[in-house]
Structure 1
């Protein structure tokens, strides 16, 4: 919220140095984001009157102008064409400085002396958008009553300080000059001067006889006030008003539109003016839009409406999108003679949805979105009418139309000073608390049942006693609150076992060079096609969001694989040669659709690899390292077929006959869908099962006292025989003497029959209570060899 200090001073008499002032307001909860000094660089520009205009004797496009400055006459040469004798204009004297720091000095043009410069609006730092066309391209012509010789900065209030306040969403009352004046008055214990409103109402008719207001969507419109102004004269607004609007970041348009914007900035209530004669039936109907209904807004864009939008309509068509933007057909223009002034209260969520859906956001919609006080509607309408009368822009019709189905009354909250002091750790007297609250227009009511705070309707953010604590604390001054230690029972926080194990998993992965990633739980329905998911797969049973940000994030994910592929693909596009990533995240499996209860939320661990020297076995080794750290022993990797993985390069991970997840190389067709041209290996594991099977028990055993004996064997078996089955038979046949078995070679080639493979194992034998003899080891080793041949119909290689 941009607040010009000169405007603020009209409502509260503040003379504090600017830095001290902004610090005090910040400490009271109104954070200052920035300060801008306007017009400070302009010097020695005064109001002059043109006495005589002559053509330059040696230049067809130049004029020689005699200007009365109030104390003397000076000669100025100019190329302006919009000036006339007796015009009052801003003139920069010799040595003056105009906007931008440019210095003006006496000079000669084609031999003729020029002792100053006539100034345009831009040369004074003004936005000329609201001025007549001749002034936009020429000199600024001042009103006939402008005081001759007066400094232009004092006349137009060019010199000002604009403070940019950060207003939190819960304080829409501060999105106005009066709101910030109220905060200032409370912080400095000053009187708040609200402008008094007195109307002449010179037009004879009564507003209730000229228009009809109907609210059909009462849940979206709490109040609608309408006033009518006749004999309207559309012209530029006065310079002082234009300057204030510009300082607040609002561009001037014409006197009527500028007045509505001025009141919005002053009181915080948006207004809108309709051309009364363009409203069919002279009726206003506040209703929901109709699907596929169309209208052209003030920006000239055709908009398609829907039933979830609130519109303002006459008896035949919509004339405005409520709280967002007016329609082109009812726009105020040069031919407008009568206007209907709207001051209404619309539901914030409805305006927010409409604004976002249409991609339109204005000063008005920004205020409505946060929720406004309906009780200010009539005040704002009257204030606008007062300004219209003062500026001679029209005649106000007697009375107004006010449709207010359910009046909003002040709230009531228990007020206990001792509770506030206890919460703040202070000893603020009760009388001082009451003074603070009443400066914020919160009245204290004393009854036999206790004291109560009556909350004004413009403070909807105050709903409970804790809010009163905050109000007292911030106005009293956060910097004055004492430092105290918290009291009460304190319990030591600690991680649960499952949380510790989850941290262990992350530590193991990061220790092996993996980077953790975070991706959205919302995905596109198209990801299932990209990973070749069958049409009848349970993964396609997804939860659809009611209000998605877009198609790309419209359903809840049921697998982490697409997310991992997205991130891998992105990193490959960044020319990263070796990728090691992991993510722990939830997938959402509905029990039935449509949802009748919360879905099953399952935690998954996804691990992704890609790089020239990385392969399936690197990923398998990572998982086995995890198992070792978590003390998981009874696991197996089984060959498996999965639609997203390469056939023959995919395995299912089992723990105690329970499926933990899947690991393998992604199918080339899937990689093509992600524009990936290198091999990618991914594992998706059930995080909950992994933690469930992990053990935190640590068992120690003594180092072996007796030496081991190693033997190697190689056996030729069919390709379909997995190494784990052979290892299992070796351990069973060797019994307790087999300490360890490792596969160290697999061979397929010319010396091996097609469809078969040679697998070589290293076996370590050791006894806990003695040194094994060669005879004992040979006997056990022979038994192992025999069992392998019998079990797998294999051939031992010598």
Structure 2
């Protein structure tokens, strides 16, 4: 919100310099972006009058002018301007003058641009005629009549007078950052209210009294019907006759320009002025084009087309709110008017509209049409319906003051459900407790009154009724904030937080920290990626069409295709990171991410999507193969107390290489999957190295984790070992053999260690040799050979019966 300080002072007195003003406003909660000082870099630019214009002898596009600048002799200036005429009053930059720029396509310079005399095609020029942009105004705010040439002044100012003084160009404009919860501050009156509260000064409101000298009754010319009261809370209208379309006076144009808007003509400028003043968007219709003298507020038909004021034909959807007459649409409610009802140079009677439209409706319409305007940006944040009538009256008052027309008596005002101010009870001790201060109820009431809030005090409770423009004041904590910011954030004492905080982190938080520490210690770097992803990622990892991960949640208002769904797996994001590292010649990468994935289970009757936490680890590079990642994973799981997991081969997981993929089971539950990525997947991500990846259900890991440590004394008695070299079929998994050995080893079997897997000519086709070391020990005695052999034989029998495993013959 651009706030010109001189304009602000019309509503409240501020007698401090701009630095103090900004500091105080910041401390009372008004964030500001920038401060621009107009007129600071303008020196020796004066008012001049064009006495003559002659052709340049050697340049068709240049002319030689004689300019009276109040000196003894006129000065000669060569210019290429085509919009000047003899008798025009213009800004003249003399030799040695300084202007803000931009000049000849160069950017605006903070220190300004110095103008010197020179020769143009052999003819001396002793200065320069200035355009509005060269005096510091942006192209987008220059009045229509001046935007393509020299600034032609609208009055006969004293010749030689400083242009800064003549046009009162010295102004400070503060750009405030308005948060979405404070739409009332998107107006000059709103910022004046904040200023008056901050500096404890009086606030005065604009004059809205209309003389209404027009003849006739407004009801004979126009009527209004709201067919969608949920989308249009109020529609107020007044009629002005004998309209004279012309340029606005300089003071009005100047304020619009400083506030970031281009002056058009007096009627349009007045409606824009009042929008900036009250925060209530206004619109003027040429009443000749309101067919049947009837206004309907209704939704569009699907596929209906409408041409807006910018000349663009737009296709509408059925839920978009329109302003219609008896035959067609004449405006898109809250966004932009129609070309078929705009003000024309010969317009004589106009309808002034001050309406209140649903924030959600305007926001949706604006987004779908890709059309955002000053009006829509205000409506979509919410506006007080009670402003509509006052804003209409203010428009009409300015029309009278500028002699731009005659206002008819009365108004049309359709207001189905009036918005009333709602009182909220706040506790004095609660406010003091939260802010850490000790204010009396009287001091708090004074703050509320500065904000134009009504109060009733009884004991420890203050009943506060905020003005209806304060849409953000709903609960007690909102009023706590008001007291805090106007008391002064810089004055609040620095205290330590108080409370009954119970011991530290939850189990899940502690295990998450442990997981990150362990994986980092194992050489992996943590990454964090977005939850919003592209649906193409699932195609890139070749996920099956019927897979659970295809149940994505689509966003209603995505920023684009690449962020249009919620992720159901971390693998595509992980591969994006690997691909980025590979493209930057990072030869060895190990990365992990712990993040949330989301599943669309609405079809199962749940009201909310299902959220799960997942952990993904991936590696590529030298010695970064399947076994390397399996080793990292085993160490990681052991750290969580999840030991002796089973790795079961998987053949039909499209993301991974066939034969180099396994599901991971623990306690008869699948907790994840590990595998070398499929070559086709790597090719899609342009990764030219073999890469291995695993993804585990982190919620299950937390559920099954057991990090509690138990002390066991060192063994007193020796162990006995037996080596078993077994010949088994190629399809038998080592984990199955280990399970059988442990199941039949009883209490004496202390440890099973795999030390060899052999395939060769000595073995029959389709078989392999698997060798284990079995360690036996008893806690209370030294084992005998007979005891160990008995258990060993029992294991061999079980292996033969269940897996057809036999001792290998040498």
In the superposition, the TM-score normalised over structure 2's length comes to 0.88
Q: Once the 2 structures are TM-superposed, how far is the Cα of residue 22 of structure 1 from its aligned partner?
A: 0.8
Contact 2:551 2:601 survives alignment (8 Å): no
Closer, same or farther in 2 for the Cα pair 1:398/1:145, shift >3 Å? farther
Distance across 1 between alignment mates of 2:361 and 2:67: 60
Residue 792 (1) aligns with residue 804 (2): yes
The corresponding residue for 1:367 is: 378
Residue 109 of structure 2 is matched in structure 1 by none
User: Secondary structure of 1:607's match?
Assistant: strand
Residues 623-662 of structure 1 correspond to what in structure 2 (within 5 A)?
A: 623-644=633-654, 645-662=656-673
Q: Is the 8 A contact 2:4 2:258 kept in 1?
A: yes
**More moved, 676-685 vs 215-224:** 676-685
Equivalent runs, 1:172-187 vs 2, <5 Å: 172-187=183-198
Distance 1:652 1:107 in 2: 83
Q: CA offsets, 1:639-679, max 9 Å, x none?
A: 33443343332323222323333322344455555555544
Shift of residue 131, structure 1, vs aligned partner: 6.7
2:297 maps to which of 286, 299, 306: 286
Distance in 1, Cα, partners of 2:64 & 2:568:
79
Q: State the distance in 1 between where 2:378 and 2:777 align.
A: 81
**8 Å contact kept, 1:444–1:452:** yes
Q: How is 1:713-752 mapped onto 2 (pairs within 5 angstroms)?
A: 713-731=724-742, 738-752=749-763
Does the CA contact (< 8 Å) of 1:127 and 1:251 recur in 2?
no
Structure 2 CA distance for aligned equivalents of residues 654 and 114 of structure 1 = 89
1:451: how far off? 5.3
Q: Is 55-64 or 473-482 further displaced after alignment?
A: 55-64
Separation (CA, whole Å) in 2 of partners of 1:745 and 1:310: 76
Aligned to 2:169: 158
- Relative to structure 1, is the Cα distance of residues 779 and 241 closer, same or farther in structure 2, using a 3 angstrom cutoff? same
Moved more, 39-48 or 542-551: 542-551
Assess, with a 3 A threshold, how the Cα gap between structure 1 residues 289 and 687 changes in structure 2: closer, same or farther: same
Counterpart contact for 1:199–1:382, Cα < 8 Å: yes
Residue number in structure 2 paired with 1:756: 767
Secondary structure of the structure 2 residue equivalent to 1:370:
coil
8 Å contact from structure 1 (residues 157, 243) kept in 2: no
Which SS does the other structure have where 1:19 is aligned?
helix
State whether residues 330 and 337 of structure 2, in contact with CA within 8 Å, keep that contact through their aligned partners in structure 1: yes
8 Å Cα contact 1:132-1:236 kept in structure 2: no
Deviations 1:656-709 (A, max 9, x none): 323333322344455555555544433333333323332233222233455656
Partner of 1:103: 114
1 CA distance for matches of 2:32 and 2:554? 42
Secondary structure, counterpart of 1:593 in structure 2: helix
Q: Could you give the per-residue CA deviations for residues 718-743 of structure 1, whole angstroms, max 9, x where no partner exists?
A: 10122223334555676555543322
Higher mean displacement: 569-578 or 468-477:
569-578
How many equivalent residue pairs?
796
Contact persistence 1:785–1:796 (CA under 8 A): no
- For residues 528-575 of structure 1, the C-alpha deviation after alignment (integer angstroms, 9 at most, x for no partner) is 555555555555455555555556555555544444445444544444
Q: How many Å apart are 1:357 and its aligned residue? A: 2.2
Whole-angstrom distance in 2 between the partners of 1:589 and 1:153? 64
Q: Is the 8 A contact 2:143 2:253 kept in 1?
A: no
Bigger drift between 310-319 and 340-349 goes to 310-319
Could you list the per-position Cα deviations for residues 402-439 of structure 1 after superposition, in whole angstroms to 9, with x for gaps in the alignment?
21111112222236555544544444454443333222
Contact 1:67–1:76 (CA<8 Å) still a contact in 2?
no
2:77 counterpart residue number: 77
Question: 1:326 aligns to what?
Answer: 337
- How many angstroms apart in 2 are the aligned matches of 1:712 and 1:485? 65
Matches within 5 A, 1:483-494: 483-484=494-495, 490-494=500-504
2:423 maps to 1:412: yes
C-alpha contact (below 8 Å) 1:76/1:117 kept by paired residues: no
Q: Deviations over 1:554-606 (max 9, x none)?
A: 55555444444454445444444333233334445566616344455443333
* Superposed displacement of residue 351, structure 1: 1.6
Task: Return closer, same or farther for 1:89/1:524 CA change in 2, 3 Å cut-off.
Answer: closer
| Secondary structure of the structure 1 residue equivalent to 2:29 | coil
Q: In structure 2, what is the equivalent of residue 120 of structure 1?
A: 131
1:356 corresponding residue in structure 2: 367
Following superposition, the deviation at residue 250 of structure 1 comes to 2.0
Q: Which residue number corresponds to residue 525 of structure 2?
A: 515
Contact 1:50 1:68 in 2 (8 A): no
How far 1:342 moved relative to its partner? 1.9
Other-structure match for 2:219: 208
Secondary structure of the structure 2 residue equivalent to 1:204: coil
Q: Is the 8 A contact 2:33 2:175 kept in 1?
A: yes
Matches within 5 A, 1:605-624: 605-624=615-634
Show the 5 A alignment for 1:398-797: 398-414=409-425, 417=428, 419-445=430-456, 452-484=463-495, 490-521=500-531, 530-541=540-551, 557-588=567-598, 593=603, 595-598=605-608, 600-644=610-654, 645-671=656-682, 676=687, 678-705=689-716, 712-731=723-742, 738-764=749-775, 792-794=804-806, 796-797=808-809
User: Superposition RMSD on alpha carbons, in Å?
Assistant: 3.6
Alpha carbons of 1:203 and 1:521: their partners in 2 closer, same or farther (altered >3 Å)? same
Superposed displacement of residue 456, structure 1: 0.9
Deviation, structure 1 residue 42: 0.8
Q: In structure 2, how many angstroms separate the alpha carbons of the residues matched to 1:565 and 1:107? A: 64
Tell me the TM-score normalized by structure 1: 0.89
Contact 2:141–2:261 (CA under 8 A) maintained in structure 1: no
Counterparts of 1:677 and 1:254 in 2: how far apart (Å)? Answer: 64
1:51-73 deviation per Cα after TM superposition (whole angstroms, max 9, x unaligned): 5666779988543425152x755
8 Å CA contact 1:634, 1:656 repeated in 2: no
Gaps of 5+ in 1: none
User: Aligned partners of 1:637 and 1:309: how far apart in 2?
Assistant: 57
Q: 1:465 to 1:601 in 2, by over 3 A?
A: closer
Distance 1:437 1:609, change over 3 A: same
> Which residue of 2 is the match for residue 9 of structure 1?
9
Partner of 1:300: 311
Asked if 2 retains the 8 angstrom alpha-carbon contact of 1:587 and 1:602, the reply is yes
Q: In the alignment, which residue of structure 2 is the partner of 1:92?
A: 93
Q: Structure 1, residues 187-206: CA drift from partner, whole Å, max 9, x if none? A: 22222232213334444233
By how many angstroms is 1:483 displaced? 4.2
**Using the alignment, how far apart are the partners of 1:305 and 1:207 within structure 2?**
31
- Confirm or deny: 8 A CA contact 2:31 2:176 kept in the other structure: yes
Bigger drift between 226-235 and 260-269 goes to 226-235
Residues of 1 paired with 2:45 and 2:285: CA distance? 40
Instruction: Give runs of aligned pairs for residues 198-237 of structure 1, distance below 5 A.
Output: 198-237=209-248
Contact 1:51 1:68 in 2 (8 A): no
**Separation of aligned partners in 2, 1:507 and 1:447:** 56
* SS, match of residue 510 in structure 1: helix
C-alpha separation in 2, matches of 1:129 and 1:587: 46
Paired with 1:96 and 1:550, the residues of 2 have a C-alpha distance of 50
Matches of 2:120 and 2:511 in 1, distance apart? Answer: 86
C-alpha distance in 2, partners of 1:26/1:322? 35
Instruction: Tell me how far apart the structure 1 counterparts of residues 685 and 208 of structure 2 sit (CA, whole Å).
Output: 67
- Is the deviation greater in 763-772 or in 472-481? 763-772
Tell me the secondary structure at the aligned position of residue 411 of structure 1.
Answer: coil
Moved more, 440-449 or 698-707: 440-449
